[in-house]
A and B are shown apart, each in its own frame.
Chain A
Amino acid sequence: MNHKTFIFLMILSLESLNPARGQDATQLVRNLKSKLDQVSSYEAEGTMKTNVPFLKVPAARVKIFYKKPDKFRVKNEQGISLVPKTISSISLNSLVDGNYSILDAGREVVSGQSLRVIKLLPSDENQEIVLSTLYIDEKDLLIVRARTTTKENGTYEVELAYGKYSSYALPDKVICRFNSKDYKLPKGVTFDYDDGSNKKKEDQAAGTKGQVEIIYNSYQINKNIPDSVF
């Protein structure tokens, strides 16, 4: 290799570490935010499936409400739904709002798809969120996965799949995975029927990771939603 070639290669490699690439990332995030900002509110209907070791609940028909900047609510108007507190992470707008440092973490292949990986570090140290990692489909400007680490509630992950509402960055299906605290029933509250099976052991083996999946059936975008809904 001659002298000139070596310098050229060095410059190239330095370019890859160049904050100027971070700007690329910033622009990406900015573009993402603009796309997300198209939707100032929505009311969606969907089905929520809960898969948490200590919760045995039927799949539920739910309504999902969103209002800028950070109002998010999942409601079961016909019955009861236990909604995990991390559900608001589905609303990606809050992720890309606020002050944070953006770090370009390169690319990663997820489920055969090459995705851009951007890390967001909130500037405010007092915030609950410590770090967010976004996996972005650069071409369609869609967040496919988001992993968020928090101070109090550990790390949770959101996976999104898009369909006919992809132009609004509104997913067809969202899977939210989270840690749930170990289930404890206050002693003496209830006597259980012991049918002789070893259910408790099975559940303990399953661990305390939970998953909630919402399949969106329809959206009413930018509908006027009163604050009282939230």
Chain B
Amino acid sequence: MWTLLQIELFKIFKRPRTYISFAAIAAIILIIQLGLKFDGTAYLQLLLSGIADSFYVPYETILNGYLVAFIILNTLLIHLPLLVALVAGDVVAGEANMGTLRLLLTKPVSRTQLLLVKFTASVIYTLLLLIWMALLALFLSILFFGTNDMLIARNTGMEQIEKSDILWRYMAAFGYAAVALSTVAALAFLLSVMADNSIGPIVATICIVIVLTILSELRIPMYDNTVKPYLFTSHMLAWKGFFYSRANQEGQAIRGSIENLPAIGRSLGILIAYIVFFVSTAVILFRKKDILS
């Protein structure tokens, strides 16, 4: 199994297109950092306009590396699924299209094993993408903007986290994001198994994620009460929950706390269930599939 995994990773990282995603992430992050470096105060003034009338707002200290990283994550974790789909959607269908799938499947390797290895390889790719993003978004932002407390804007209000209470939250958030993105990878993977050409699975995954995200974010009771809790896109944003603290009786944020850890746990469980469902379905379909490509 390990040999097969090495082969799959070798193939993925030998393709020039794999590096497009890494380059795209770096470009987006640097653009955001540059923009905030020059115009960060204006952006914050917009974000904090709700409280600027009543409070003195120290824009210079609010705009620090931790907040910049949060802003980047907010943006990128909507776009990263598309980059994940690029590889996960290609991992089987791309081979079918190239014609190499039929050669692969004449080797003495079980189809189940091959498929699981291919999925694992796409998850590893996803993790590397995430680590790359973490390094650039967090550590580079800290380098450019320094560190301080973090202020986040929610629909219900603003929350502040002390400087020393932030880093572990980011680690937890990245860990969660890894699972969220693996869910997208699993969907793309399932669609890849069903197609002979990678364009279809990639586009279909992107469309599904976009449509379901809209459904998840739209506040329409008909969807809110029925499908929304079960859509995986509704749970992909739960990484933010690591940045929401509990308040004490006097309304102050409690250091080191998480507002609703059980909810995050539930969301995580749902995502894992989706991953298991998508991958099992892919394996079942693939075992019976006639390879005509």
Contacts and interface: CB of A to CB of B under 8 A. Distances in A.
Interface of A: 49-59, 76, 78-87, 153, 178, 180-181, 183-186, 189-197, 199-200, 203, 210
Is chain B's binding surface mostly helix, strand, loop or mixed? mixed
A54 B162 contact: no
Contacts of B240: 192-193
Interface stretch (B8-16, B22-30, B57-65, B120-128): B57-65
Nearest to B157: A54
Contacts of B54: 84-86, 153, 178, 180-181, 210
A56 B49 CA distance: 17
A158 to B, nearest CB: 16
Nearest to A179: B54
A200 B155 CA distance: 8
A80 B62 contact: yes
Nearest to B255: A58
Interface string B246-272: 010011111100011001100100000
Given A56-B245, A192-B154, 5 more contacts: A49-B252, A54-B158, A82-B55, A184-B50, A210-B54
Nearest to B219: A194
A82 B56 contact: yes
A16 B241 CA distance: 63
Contacts of A153: 54
Interface residues of B, number: 51
Nearest to A192: B155
A59 B252 contact: yes
6 contacts: A52-B251, A56-B253, A58-B161, A58-B254, A79-B149, A82-B56
A81 B241 contact: no
Contacts, number: 143
Given A50-B251, A85-B55, A192-B240, A80 B158 contact: no
Given A58-B255, A80-B148, A49 B160 contact: no
Contact of B154 (A82, A85, A180, A190): A190
Interface string B97-117: 000000000000000000000
Given A184-B50, A186-B49, A203-B156, A79 B163 contact: yes
A82 B245 CA distance: 17
Nearest to B64: A80
Contact of A57 (B155, B160, B260, B264): B160
Contacts of B251: 50-53, 55-56
A203 B157 contact: yes
